[in-house]
Amino acid sequence: MNKQILALVILGGTLLSVGYLLGQEKVDTRSDIQKIADAINSDPTSTWQAEKTPSEADVAYRSRMFNLIIDEVPAEFDEQPELSVADLPENFDSRTNWKDCQSIKEIRDQSGCGSCWAFGAAGAMSDRVCIASQQKDQRRVSSEDILECCKICGMGCNGGFLYATWLNWKAAGYVTGSFYQNNDWCKAYKFPPCNHHSDGPYEDCSKHRYATPKCEKDCSNKDYPKKYKDDKIYAAKIYNIKRGETEIQQEIFTHGPVEAAFSVYQDFLAYKSGVYEHKQGSFLGGHAIKIIGWGVENGVKFWTIVNSWNESWGEKGTFRILRGANHCGIEGNVVAGLPKL
């Protein structure tokens, strides 16, 4: 054991410094996320790989981004359709099953705005419009319109409600739209891509903290041939999936991707690849995503999930998480609907 001698430097009765003169212990200067990443990568039982994230020091940014609110299922929700899929495949991916639906392959970017709730919804809604039309209708539901104009959905860039967002799809509808500066549809997303807990081609997201845009009931694309009110897409039915893993699989297999919520912990910020399983770190908040399929890797069951942090994050914008154990609540709050075509 090293002997430590505490030195006090005093001048005129004022304490100037405190230090260890002998046997000074080495200070671990690694950040919390770096320590977590190192621990996960050195664990031979880990099912996923981790990396340090550039924006890990910005605690305020983290809390702003994980602000999904799990509201009560509205009384206006419909009953979940009865499904019976006798032989579910071991592996399933909506991107290959409905290969002509371009929206399923897209990775959107919520930017420096806490709008995951709008992105998970808009993505799943867009996919279901295409699937219900036998892969003919390629319209996208606008996450910008949801963010701006859904007054019952929450607080815009400061968080939103999982179920109310779908309720409003049936009650008020949403116009078309997709990526930042995309002019294919009525209303594009207003905020540019940024790097979310990853290295990438953009600025770090923690530098951008956007306020909720004002609701504009006009198409931002002035060349779009339809008026705002005529461009709305509505839901015929909206419902939550209440009965767990198998029912979620049946729903995805039959009607397409679903929106779901899960609890985010510090170690998720270090995710790089593999099947995520929470190991360590404090709780940060709730996050909404889109589940597009499932599979098994080395005997470990997983969900395949699309995030809203662009393709430079995770497995080209997607991640996988442990399936069948309601891990981090991933199977506890799942919502879907059928479009009115």
Phi, psi of 93 (to 5 degrees): -140, 120
- pLDDT at residue 236 above 60? yes
Task: Tell me which of 116, 194, 205, 328 is the catalytic residue.
Answer: 116
Mean pLDDT of all residues in 105-134: 97
Task: Tell me which of 287, 327, 328, 333 is the catalytic residue.
Answer: 287
Q: How confident is the model at residue 31 (pLDDT cuts 50, 70, 90)?
A: confident
Phi, psi of 266 (to 5 degrees): -55, -40
- pLDDT at residue 330 above 70? yes
Q: Between residues 82 and 16, which one has the greater pLDDT?
A: 82
Identify the pLDDT of residue 61.
67
186 is catalytic: no
- Give dist(CA 235, CA 5) in Å, integer: 72
Q: How confident is the model at residue 33 (pLDDT cuts 50, 70, 90)?
A: confident
Q: Please state the domain extents for the chain.
A: 53-340
Annotation: CATH topology of 53-340? Cathepsin B; Chain A (3.90.70)
Mean pLDDT of all residues in 186-202: 94
Q: How confident is the model at residue 240 (pLDDT cuts 50, 70, 90)?
A: very high
Task: Tell me which of 168, 240, 307, 333 is the catalytic residue.
Answer: 307
Q: How confident is the model at residue 197 (pLDDT cuts 50, 70, 90)?
A: confident
Q: What is the pLDDT of residues 251-306, one digit of tens each?
A: 999 999 999 999 999 999 999 999 999 999 999 999 999 999 999 999 999 999 99
67 is catalytic: no
Mean pLDDT of all residues in 41-48: 97
Identify the pLDDT of residue 16.
34
Identify the pLDDT of residue 241.
96
What is the average pLDDT score of the chain?
Answer: 90
Q: What pTM did the predictor assign?
A: 0.90
Identify the pLDDT of residue 32.
81
- pLDDT at residue 250 above 60? yes
307 is catalytic: yes
Identify the pLDDT of residue 12.
34
Q: Between residues 218 and 2, which one has the greater pLDDT?
A: 218
Mean pLDDT of all residues in 203-217: 92
Identify the pLDDT of residue 225.
96
